[in-house]
Amino acid sequence: MEYIYKIKSPVGILTASSDGQNVCGLWMEGQKYFARTLGNDVLEQNLPIFEDVQRWLDVYFSGREPDFMPPLMPKGSPFQKSIWDNLCKIPYGQTTTYGELAKQFDLENKGKHTSPRAVGSAVGRNPVSIIIPCHRVVGKNGSLTGYAGGIDTKIKLLRLERSDSV
């Protein structure tokens, strides 16, 4: 059983999903790959974990860095999860590139090599938007490329964080 809950936000309605204990998804309506990791057995219900997500989002959208992280359990391949873990290490208000994330992966996985394109594919399939900050990844030379929620939303989020990239 998976649970979902709708949350109003400055970037539109968000749909959060949970296994009952962890955040498994957070999608903006209309975004690419919307709810693609949800199974067939889904119930819309407010749970304590969704209250944690709402509190995190309230702090974030007030222009401050949240000082806590709800428990996360995104569904994906081991490679994707590794990339998503590294997204969580990008400091609030800062950005990194797909190439830098690829280099970081290579360092952490001696003997394995990945390309910025493969990283981009994993970043684009991040099922926990905003909380796992895929909006902090930019193209080579800082160009604002790709975001499942749309470039305008990416710009709003980076401006909210007072990032130098916008």
88 is catalytic: no
Residue whose entry in the numeric block shows the structure tokens 């909210």:
160
Q: In whole angstroms, what is the distance from residue 69 CA to residue 140 CA?
A: 29
139-152 tens-digit pLDDT: 988 888 878 888 99
* Residue-range domains of the chain with CATH: 2-61 (3.30.160), 78-160 (1.10.10.10)
Sign, CA torsion 123/127/129/133: negative
Q: Which of 72, 134, 138, 148 is catalytic?
A: 134
Does the model's pTM come out above 0.75? yes
99-150 tens-digit pLDDT: 999 999 999 988 788 999 999 999 999 999 999 999 999 998 888 887 888 8
